[in-house]
Amino acid sequence: MMDKERFAAIVAAYGAAPHRWPQDERAAAERYAAAHRDECAPLLAEARTLDAALADAPAPAPSDLLAARVMAAHRAASRQGWLNDPRRAALALAACAVFGVIVGFGGGRLTPATPQPDNAEAMIAAVFGGAEDAFALFGDGG
Instruction: Answer whether residue 102 is part of any domain.
Output: no
Mean pLDDT, the chain, whole residue set: 82
Q: How confident is the model at residue 133 (pLDDT cuts 50, 70, 90)?
A: low
Which domain does 38 fall in, by range? 4-56
> Residue 109 domain-assigned?
no
Q: What percent of the chain has pLDDT over 70?
A: 70
pLDDT tens digits, 26-49: 999 999 999 999 999 999 999 999
Collapsing DSSP to helix, strand or coil, 141 comes out as coil
Whether 39 is in a domain gets the answer yes
Q: What is the pLDDT of residues 66-105, one digit of tens each?
A: 999 999 888 877 666 666 677 877 888 899 999 988 888 7
- Cα angle, residue 91 at apex, residues 110 and 96 outer, rounded to 5°: 25
Residues 6+ apart with CB under 8 A from 51: 15, 16, 17
Q: How many domains is the chain partitioned into structurally?
A: 1
Residue 114 lies in a domain: no
Question: Is 123 a member of any domain?
Answer: no
